[in-house]
Chain A
Amino acid sequence: MAFKGTLIIDTEKCKGCGVCIIGCPQKCIALGKKVNKKGYNHLEIIEDTCIGCANCAVVCPDGVIEVYKVKV
């Protein structure tokens, strides 16, 4: 079964630590060039290949990632 997923990232609360990126099986997220008000380069979706596994969300210390997925 295949899934398609996506994220809502609370970019203002993201601290740009990057620990979420390591566990992403799709390598579809990265820290961007844009900075938030706190001055952190926050997380961005870089590829449309997310499968909604929530790996990124469960390791995020600040709980800023919300994950949605659908069966495709």
Chain B
Amino acid sequence: MTREEIIKPENLVYRRTPVLTDNVMHYCPGCGHGTVHRLIAEVIEEMGIQDKTIGVAPVGCSVLAYNYFDVDFVEAAHGRAPAVATAIKRLHQNHFVFTYQGDGDLAAIGTGETIHACNRGENIVIIFVNNGIYGMTGGQMAPTTLPNMKTSTSPYGRDVEVMGPPLKITELVAQLPGTYYVTRQAVYTPALVRKAKKAIRQAFENQKLNKGVSFVEIVSNCNSGWKLTPVKSNEWLEENMLPFYPLGDIKVPAKEV
């Protein structure tokens, strides 16, 4: 069978979702941000909620996320996305509102907004991309930087005696009654991508229930900040990030009886 015979509309098994725009993403080759964007966009497409979704972009590498999603999008100040999303959701209660944030944005400068949006149980989705570093500003230490991990502001490795240990904000928000679903995923293998997509889908579905925040952490890579090739960065992620940030659900909705 020739290639031409296979490439027919009825044989299509995977294509780029139209909920992403045609713009070429500015991310470094192999950066997980692109994959996470695609999964969110696929979920929006599959749920048929493009006309009811409003996204909130952070300050960080994904500051331009609004150029890649073909949905209405607000760019928030650094760390403030949960506050911005709070108002949008309260004023558009039937819409699907999500924030997309990096670890510096969500777990350093925006810690207050994150915790309080979660504690109030805002009926939003928070997508938290944890790459353990400040990608956008050139690889400085983040609240999530691993112990002894070298960054441009921890050049001899993160000294936990001086800087404290990495902040497991996801475990922290799981303690709050306002979070309904809290999970940690990754996107560097096909199987993990498929699982992560299911988690994102569940998070968006949860918004229909009005039960509080659905919080999806994605442990991701920053090959530029980590100074590794894309493939090596994913290996490093598996070996170093995952033992500290284990994958899986942290808080799942209690089964209704």
Contacts and interface: CB of A to CB of B under 8 A. Distances in A.
B16 A63 contact: yes
Given A59-B35, A60-B35, A40 B16 contact: no
B9 to A, nearest CB: 9
B189 A67 contact: no
Interface in A19-72: 19, 21-23, 40, 52-70, 72
Interface residues of A, number: 34
B65 to A, nearest CB: 13
Contacts of B20: 63
Contacts, number: 97
Contact of B38 (A40, A63, A66, A68): A63
Contacts of B229: 18
Contacts of A23: 189-190
Interface string B111-132: 0000000000000000000000
B193 A58 contact: yes
A65 B34 CA distance: 13
A61 B27 contact: yes
Nearest to B31: A61
B13 A54 contact: yes
Interface of B: 1, 3, 5-8, 11-17, 20, 24-25, 27-35, 38, 187-190, 193-194, 229-231, 234
